[in-house]
Amino acid sequence: MIIVANASNVNGAAKQLTQELAARGFHLGGATNGVGPEERLDVSKVYYLPAGADVAASVGRVMGDITVTRMPVPVWITGGPAKLGDATVVVMLGKDLASKKRMLPV
């Protein structure tokens, strides 16, 4: 499962990307927000736990070949590690993609 965290300061951006990724066949949890040092990012990135490496790579490609790296501990999202639940991938949605009407390439 994938969680999208809004780290862009664009209201509703994580929810929109969640819907766009779901429309592409990915399994998503509820959108959340970035916190702490990742509350505001200029550039989006994808984090993964070992079990989600392949999904993270796919999401990174679909989003325009954005950076994909191992998930930091703690993960900087509202609710922290408890928010992850079954999710193995977290998309940190930065300003680079959140300001676009459609975040994913057509």
Per-residue confidence (pLDDT) for residue 30, from 0 to 100: 93
CA distance 14 to 25: 17
pLDDT, tens digit, 9 for 90 and up, residues 33-87: 999 999 999 999 999 999 999 999 999 999 999 999 999 989 999 998 888 999 9
Show me where the domains of the chain are located. Answer: 2-98
21 neighbors 68 (Cβ within 8 angstroms):
no
At the topology level, CATH places domain 2-98 in: Alpha-Beta Plaits (3.30.70)
Question: What is the average pLDDT across 6-34?
Answer: 95
The token pair at 7 is 């780290």
- Residue 32 has a pLDDT of 96
Q: What pLDDT was estimated at residue 83?
A: 87
**pLDDT number for residue 106:** 59
- Of the pLDDT bands very low, low, confident and very high (cuts 50, 70, 90), residue 20 is very high
CA separation for the pair 82, 17 (Å, rounded)? 22
Q: Are the C-beta atoms of residues 92 and 5 closer than 8 Å to each other?
A: yes
